[in-house]
Amino acid sequence: MNADKIEVELAGSGSVLFPKGVSVQEILSGQDGGGRDGFIAARVDGELVDLSTKLNKDARVEGIRADNAEGLEILRHSASHIMAQAVKALFPDAKVAIGPAIENGFYYDFDVEKPFSPEDLERIEAKMAEIVAEKLEFHRREMPREGAIQFFRDRGEPYKVELIEGFDGPIVSFYEQGDFVDLCRGPHIPHTGFLKAFKLTGVAGAYWRGDERNPMLQRIYGTAFPDREALKKYLKFLEEAQKRDHRRLGKDLDLFSFSDDVGAGMVIYHPKGALIRHILETFEKREHLRRGYHIVVGPTLLKTELWKRSGHFEHYRENMYFTEIDGQSYGIKPMNCLSHMLIYKSKIRSYRDLPLRYFELGTVHRHEKSGVLHGLLRVRQFTQDDAHILCMPEQLNTEIQGIIDFVIEVMGIFGFSYEMEISTRPEKSIGTDADWERATRALMGALEDKGIAFSLCEGEGAFYGPKIDVKLRDALERRWQCATIQCDFTLPERFDLTYIGADGNRHRPVMLHRVILGAIERFMGVLVEHYGGAFPTWLAPVQAVVMTVTDAQLEFARRLVDEVRNAGVRVDLDDRSEKLNYKIREAQLQKIPYMLVVGDREVAAGGVKPRRRDGTQLDLMLPGGFAEMIEKECLEATKGRIGLGIV
């Protein structure tokens, strides 16, 4: 072979000879979609690189376009650099921190003297458009670590200096476009002109590295897409998501609140929110009892020595709260598993007793950093529908499949689709390789036996065992993590849990940790956004509101309320001296499923003509008939689980 040539294998096109030093851009220029605005980056022997990368040895090359997952991430990361360049141009004293691509866009954190205003965002976006029009090339540079530290120190960028000081490698890479330089691994789009459709979507405060002890920075969010049509579609989605934001709806519907007087991350449930929670918890208790679970309750405080024995102190203590009583250290529980193991250990167990399924609606506390707290979705005190199943190893497959069936059935009632993901051993963990392998095989085997596809998430398991995570998809196709199934051979070993087998000898059980809804708070937040606050009738805190036209109907309206309430319907009376249209509008804003307007004709007929919240008007029916209709609707929606009278 010619010493001046290299052999390049092109994805789907075989091998081609090129001169040494050829750029990836030149290699891909003849490929389908490889025109000037086609590929934005490439993979060379599996590694992501810029199109400007030059090759001097044989390689396999695959072009990456902006319309796939990898390309979109590169496009968005490049957009964050362009945004940072715009900010520095408009606010020269701003100090730049980090600017990654995220699931639906990108953000960049800045240390500035005063918060960015909406007008500032408009100016920044306009400046970005100017930079895009200039088609500035992205150039990759490398320098020794110490030189890079001095380089960014000279530029007055302390956050970049801190980042580099945490690097282990001797060489640091950075990118420049025009007069802007940023620390980055890359790759990036060839030039700024490849950013064709972008939008800045908001600004928020964010602590440096998510730690409230660090400076508060200004985080600008944005998004980018390969074309304007995709951007337009996403912005419409964002508009709908904002309408469904559970924090706004929680206030509008009077469900819950937070108070600085109480403390960050602590939920205060108002009557309607507490009622929804009660319905969910009652539903959960019934479903667990149907499946052979035992309801248990454990203490909130457990001696720190127990948390050391379990491994939580070593691997999880930064997320725990501790206190001291009479000179004894206690940990406030972040999980419920320890008490459940102590219940199991309270007496000798036989193989005939297994499996044992312990269920607790257990309230736990976890120290989440202030920067990540987010309404009901991320709080410091929450209640989990926690259960632990102790079984023989040969019962694992059946028990795991039973939990999977439980999750699928419940999520079907709420109208969620789902995906399954298996998370494997993290770097920080306990237990033997053999036990981790057995646990992982058990989870995979159960999913395979049920014919359920799953993806792998390497290194994201719990510190004591691998897990199945169930990712829900809501009405807007967003993914939420709620249900999880964890397989644990290690904690039963640490707590010396045993059972007497058929052979008369002691054996070690396996423990499955699992939640169905997960944190009740988080699940309620997801439900509010999934339904847009318009809860199905079986879950609505108020199922119907009776409205009078004038005071002349008040006596009949009160009797009507009493009758349907006694039948189990959750009903309110609106007897205010307001116009009827105003009352109807308010009930619609409160998203109450049914409105029962009482006028002289209804009084004369002794019945009501229910009006649904979508405006549909039903025929006249007696109060008892209305209650029967609500009962039927609730039972159909919950597959016979919940009718009237759950509260």
List beta partners, residue 301.
332
Mean pLDDT of 528-539: 96
Model confidence over 579-615: pLDDT tens digits?
999 999 999 999 999 999 999 999 999 999 999 999 9
Gap between the Cα atoms of 438 and 503, Å rounded: 23
Neighbouring CB atoms inside 10 A of 297's CB total: 10
CB 459 within 8 A of CB 506: no
Gap between the Cα atoms of 192 and 547, Å rounded: 60
Question: Which amino acid is located at 632 in the chain?
Answer: K
Query: β-strands 356-365, 381-391: how paired?
Result: antiparallel
Query: β-strands 594-598, 544-548: how paired?
Result: parallel
Q: Which residues of 145-161 are buried (b: 16+ CB within 10 A; e: fewer)?
A: eeebbebbeeeebebbb
Token readout for 215 is 């400076």
Q: Is the pLDDT of residue 34 over 50?
A: no
Q: Is the pLDDT of residue 119 over 60?
A: yes
Token readout for 383 is 């209640």
> CA dihedral in degrees (200, 202, 207, 212; nearest 10)?
-170
Model confidence over 291-348: pLDDT tens digits?
999 999 999 999 999 999 999 999 899 999 999 999 999 999 999 999 999 999 999 9
Residue extents of the structural domains in the chain: 5-64, 69-244, 270-298+334-531, 544-637
Closest CA to 522 of 311, 369, 375, 331: 375
CB 83 within 8 A of CB 116: no
Gap between the Cα atoms of 479 and 492, Å rounded: 33
> In a 10 Å sphere around its CB, with 0-12 CB exposed, 13-18 middle and 19+ buried, how is residue 139 labelled?
middle
Residue 110, pLDDT score: 96
Task: Measure Cα distances from 34 to 38, 55, 69, 76 in Å.
Answer: 5, 18, 18, 20
Token readout for 329 is 């250290």
CB 375 within 8 A of CB 525: yes
CB 482 within 8 A of CB 470: yes
Class of domain 544-637: alpha beta
From the candidate CATH numbers 1.10.30.50, 3.40.350.10, 3.40.50.1980, 3.10.20.30, the one assigned to the domain spanning 5-64: 3.10.20.30
Q: How confident is the model at residue 647 (pLDDT cuts 50, 70, 90)?
A: low
Q: Is the pLDDT of residue 83 over 50?
A: yes
Nearest 5°: phi and psi at 128? Answer: -60, -40
Q: How confident is the model at residue 2 (pLDDT cuts 50, 70, 90)?
A: low
Give me the active site residues, please: 337, 366, 384, 386, 388, 467, 513
Bond before 187 cis per omega within 30 degrees: yes
Closest CA to 517 of 532, 527, 531, 509: 527
Mean pLDDT of 501-514: 96
Nearest 5°: phi and psi at 385? Answer: -85, 70
More confident residue, 428 or 351: 351
Gap between the Cα atoms of 123 and 138, Å rounded: 23
Gap between the Cα atoms of 171 and 553, Å rounded: 82
Neighbouring CB atoms inside 10 A of 599's CB total: 16
- The reported pTM is 0.83
The yes/no answer on whether domain 69-244 falls in CATH 3.40.50.300 is no
Residue 513 CB contacts under 8 Å (≥ 6 apart), including other chains: 335, 337, 386, 387, 388, 462, 465, 467, 484, 485, 486, 488
Residue 32, pLDDT score: 53
Question: Which amino acid is located at 288 in the chain?
Answer: H
Neighbouring CB atoms inside 10 A of 70's CB total: 15
Model confidence over 160-217: pLDDT tens digits?
999 999 988 899 999 999 999 999 999 999 999 999 999 999 998 888 987 778 899 9
Closest CA to 183 of 55, 43, 80, 105: 80
Token readout for 13 is 């096109």
Tell me the residue ranges of DSSP E strands in 508-577: 510-519, 544-548, 571-574
Q: How confident is the model at residue 36 (pLDDT cuts 50, 70, 90)?
A: very low
List beta partners, residue 514.
387, 485
Rg of the chain over all Cα atoms, to the nearest angstrom: 30
Token readout for 12 is 């789907």
For 400, half-sphere exposure in the C-beta direction (CA atoms, 13 angstrom radius) is: 32
Mean pLDDT of 61-74: 92
Token readout for 295 is 């309801």
Closest CA to 469 of 489, 455, 488, 451: 455
Q: Give the architecture-level CATH label for domain 270-298+334-531.
A: 2-Layer Sandwich (3.30)
Q: Which residue has the tokens 């249209």?
A: 581
Question: Which amino acid is located at 494 in the chain?
Answer: R
- What is the residue-averaged pLDDT of the chain? 93
For the chain, what percent of residues have pLDDT higher than 70? 98
Helix/strand/coil for 484? strand
Q: Give the end-to-end CA distance of the chain in Å, rounded to a whole number.
A: 82
> In a 10 Å sphere around its CB, with 0-12 CB exposed, 13-18 middle and 19+ buried, how is residue 587 labelled?
buried
Mean pLDDT of 425-440: 91
Model confidence over 459-469: pLDDT tens digits?
989 888 999 99
Residue 35, pLDDT score: 42
